[in-house]
């Protein structure tokens, strides 16, 4: 029996968190209209990854500035580019109040167009930044009635966040930067959506792991989403596992263990109080990024590679021996 999909406000008219929204559901259950002034953040991030490379596309409204950006890496030749633009007017950006709707970032140097269509998302990128031509086009195919991970994390009535993590979708398309091109096909990559909306604290740290196996249909794939630090001591987290169209929420918190001097070494992700989650990511590519815009400071270490290990779900043991994905640690002042 299909669940009744009731939608409630994320926050009240006074800008405070709606107490009824503090929970998780397998569909986007809140309207992310952020009433009130100050500390408002809203973004859409699409990540697409294969064993040959990755593309990350971000549209973000950070209240006092707007961002459009891409990260592209070809693992075969270790080529990577991180390119973005900043705008200060709301005319440059459109981010919906629900995850799987159309969005855009429009700038003379960069255009990102995300279009919601029947059963798929179309993603087009076009621009020229630092004399580097950018062009890309993707189709992301949404599974019918595919469950997703949607949770509201409360730090306080004034500070809270809704996040929707959606994977492991099939995708196909290409990205070309200055004639360096990488193609993605449905049976060699996965797509992951990170949609967020809320009112954040100025200083925030987080960990994130997302990964998928690469079977030809979404019904055969296993996908994982695990996060840490930013949800600590809130009673909520963003942890869960997909087995085809079955999603299981993981209530346990996890910890990320990695070598800060040598992030190319193995990353370990473990459940904090049990042996239910024991995963290892062996990096094949490392991304390091620092931003200092006075009002906004950000430092990211992100690794891409092979994920292996075990997850115990209820009484079942799920063995992961052929999964790709990424893990990251992000420190932000924003």
Name the strand (E) or helix (H) holding 269: strand 267-271
Write the DSSP assignment of 227-245 as a string of letters.
EESTTTTTT----EEEETT
Cα–Cα distance measured from residue 73 to residue 81, given in angstroms and rounded to the nearest whole number: 6
Q: Is 187 left (phi over 0), alpha (psi -120 to 50) or beta?
A: alpha
pTM of the model: 0.96
HSE-CB at 149 with a 13 A cutoff on CA atoms is 27
Q: Reply yes or no on whether the pLDDT at 1 is more than 50.
A: no
Question: Pairing relation of β-strands 267-271 and 79-87?
Answer: unpaired
HSE-CB at 119 with a 13 A cutoff on CA atoms is 2
Which phi and psi (to 5°) does residue 260 adopt? -70, -25
Report whether 295 contacts 173 (CB < 8 A).
no
Grouping H, G, I as helix, E, B as strand and the rest as coil, residue 219 is helix
Q: Is 276 left (phi over 0), alpha (psi -120 to 50) or beta?
A: alpha
Domain locations in the chain?
A: 8-333
Domain 8-333 annotated CATH 2.40.340.10: no
For residue range 163-209, what is the model confidence (pLDDT) as tens digits? 999 999 999 999 999 999 999 999 999 999 999 999 998 889 999 99
For residue range 84-133, what is the model confidence (pLDDT) as tens digits? 999 999 899 999 999 999 999 999 999 999 999 989 999 999 999 999 99
Cα–Cα distance measured from residue 97 to residue 268, given in angstroms and rounded to the nearest whole number: 35
For residue range 216-261, what is the model confidence (pLDDT) as tens digits? 999 999 999 999 999 999 999 999 999 999 999 999 999 999 999 9
For residue range 31-86, what is the model confidence (pLDDT) as tens digits? 999 998 778 999 999 999 999 999 999 999 998 899 999 999 999 998 999 999 99
Q: What separation in angstroms does the CA of 184 have from each of 24, 173, 191, 327?
A: 32, 5, 10, 21
Cα–Cα distance measured from residue 105 to residue 137, given in angstroms and rounded to the nearest whole number: 15
């Amino acid at each position: 029996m299909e669940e009744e999909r009731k939608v409630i406000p994320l926050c009240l008219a006074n800008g405070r968190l709606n107490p009824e929204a503090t929970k998780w559901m397998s569909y986007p259950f809140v309207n992310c209209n952020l009433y009130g002034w100050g500390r408002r953040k809203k973004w859409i991030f699409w990540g697409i990854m294969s064993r040959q490379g990755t593309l990350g596309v971000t549209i973000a409204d950070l209240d006092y500035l707007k961002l459009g950006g891409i990260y592209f890496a070809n693992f075969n030749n270790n080529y990577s580019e991180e390119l973005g633009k900043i705008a200060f007017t709301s005319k440059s950006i459109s981010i919906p109040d629900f995850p799987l709707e159309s969005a855009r970032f429009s700038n003379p140097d960069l255009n990102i167009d995300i279009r919601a269509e029947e059963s798929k998302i179309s993603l087009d990128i076009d621009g020229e930044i630092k004399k580097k031509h950018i062009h890309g086009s993707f189709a992301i195919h949404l599974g019918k009635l595919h469950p997703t991970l949607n949770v509201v994390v409360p730090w306080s009535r004034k500070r809270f966040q809704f996040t929707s993590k959606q994977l492991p979708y099939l995708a196909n398309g290409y990205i070309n930067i200055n004639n360096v091109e990488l193609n993605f096909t449905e049976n060699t990559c996965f797509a992951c959506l990170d949609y967020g909306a809320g009112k954040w604290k100025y200083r925030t740290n987080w960990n994130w792991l997302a990964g998928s196996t690469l079977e030809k249909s979404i019904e055969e794939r296993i996908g994982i989403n695990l996060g840490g630090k930013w949800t600590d001591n809130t009673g909520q987290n963003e942890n869960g596992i997909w087995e085809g169209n079955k999603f299981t929420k993981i209530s346990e918190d996890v910890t990320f263990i990695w070598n800060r001097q040598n992030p190319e070494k193995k990353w370990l992700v473990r459940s904090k109080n049990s042996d239910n989650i024991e995963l290892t990511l062996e990096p094949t590519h490392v991304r390091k990024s620092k931003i200092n815009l006075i009002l906004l400071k950000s430092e990211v270490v992100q690794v891409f590679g092979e994920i292996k290990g075990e997850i115990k779900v209820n009484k079942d043991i799920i063995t992961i021996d052929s999964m790709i994905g990424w893990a990251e640690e992000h420190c932000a002042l924003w």
